[in-house]
Amino acid sequence: MSEETRLERGLRTRARIFGEEGEERRQAFAEASPAFAQFVTESVYGDLYARDGIDDKTRETVILSVLCAQGRDREFGYHAKAALRIGMTKEEIQEIILICAIYAGAPNAVGATDESLRVFKEFGV
């Protein structure tokens, strides 16, 4: 019986976290840069997301915090959806942003809040 490759594992993980929307983004992305798309699918989703030492919720907590600190509002929105999908609550996302407001500066937290408001409405939470 053949073992799952890094690529296969990455695609499977990606689907679990981002759903259909993620697959559409991945395809547009692969068109823009096949090598980068491969790196992300294999090294990020295939290797890192498969590690035992960290659970899905903690990983998304790290990612949301970094995205807020970088002021990447749009990507914060993508991962706010991912966070809700893997079981994080609206309240937990709000608490993460609140801590970020102090450490990453209020403007970055404001951007993340605006983006999360859109996501909360889309998910009806």
Which residues of the chain form contacts with a second copy (CB under 8 A)?
Answer: 28-29, 31-33, 35-36, 39-40, 43-44, 47-48, 51, 53-54, 58-59, 61-63, 65-72, 74-75, 91-92, 94-111, 113-114, 116-117, 120
Please say which residue, 15 or 71, places its beta carbon nearer to a second copy: 71
Phi, psi at residue 54, to the nearest 5°? Answer: -145, 135
Q: Which residue, among 51, 56, 122, has the nearest Cα to 92 in the 3D structure? A: 56
- In the complex, what is the shortest distance from the CB of residue 108 to a second copy, in angstroms, rounded to a whole number? 7
Please say which residue, 12 or 72, places its beta carbon nearer to a second copy: 72
Residues whose CB falls within 8 Å of the CB of residue 37, separated by 6 or more in sequence, listed in order: 26, 29, 30
123, two tokens: 């998910």
Please say which residue, 85 or 88, places its beta carbon nearer to a second copy: 88
- In the complex, what is the shortest distance from the CB of residue 124 to a second copy, in angstroms, rounded to a whole number? 14
- Interatomic CA distance for residues 36 and 101, integer angstroms: 31
